[in-house]
Amino acid sequence: MNPEKWERIARLLKEGPISNGEASRQLGVRKRAVAEVRADLGIPPYFVRRGAQWTRDDFEEMSVELRGGHRRWRGRHSTQGVPMAGKDVTAYRLSFRLHHGREPVGKVTGTCRLNRCVAGGHLADAVLRAAPTVDLAALTELPAEATVQGLDMVAIRRCLRGPQPWPALSRDEARFALRFTDPDMTAVEVASRLGVSARTVERYRKKTAEAP
């Protein structure tokens, strides 16, 4: 094996838990080559936990957070490219359960534009998809529903009012949450809670103050 190929495989294995098969797929190399580099580095074999054994820390370790609150799965994928958290459990269903604290009803589908995003707040089951339509522009206070038009109200409330750790919000959720922030809270604190920049908060407040 040439040094360049060895280094590419080693770099991916060092980034975090990943199966030989998934590393092979991502790099376009043989599984045997990945296994050899894994042995050279002394990295233990990849182990897939069963769905009921996963914790939030396990999930975050096996996925990568991206801009906009998205998450990319680093574990095994099915032959159709579906992120898998076990033999018969998709990463979508696992993420939904960890995020909402309940098992999903029916099929879990994405609510954002990123293909194969596994962020819990960007997923919906049959119950959430059947939620009533609300005119967001007309709202003067946070709605009581758990989810409105794909926006996770539970996560938004935690970010606005709750203690750390604050869940990651999508871009649309953060924009919506800005409307309900405490005016006495500094821009820096609001920014840290919502996962945006302080300049974004300041621009929003200035725009709101100038509105007729």
> Looking at this protein, which amino acid is placed at residue 153?
M
Task: Look up the pTM and report it.
Answer: 0.49
> What was the pLDDT predicted at 22?
76
**Looking at the predicted structure, is the pLDDT value of residue 146 above 90?**
no
CA distances from 123 to 101, 114, 158 (A): 13, 11, 18
**In angstroms, rounded to a whole number, what is the distance separating the alpha carbons of residues 23 and 8?**
10
Residue with tokens 């770099």: 11
CA distances from 191 to 68, 163, 209 (A): 14, 14, 18
28: its two tokens: 């376009």
pLDDT in tens, 33-90: 988 998 888 887 766 554 457 888 888 888 888 877 788 998 888 888 899 888 788 9
Nearest to 58 by CA among 46, 68, 70, 67: 46
pLDDT in tens, 111-130: 887 889 999 888 888 877 77
Nearest to 93 by CA among 54, 129, 130: 54
Contacts 24+ apart (CB under 8 A), 32-36: 33/1, 33/5, 33/9, 34/9, 36/1
**Residue 90 DSSP one-character state:** B
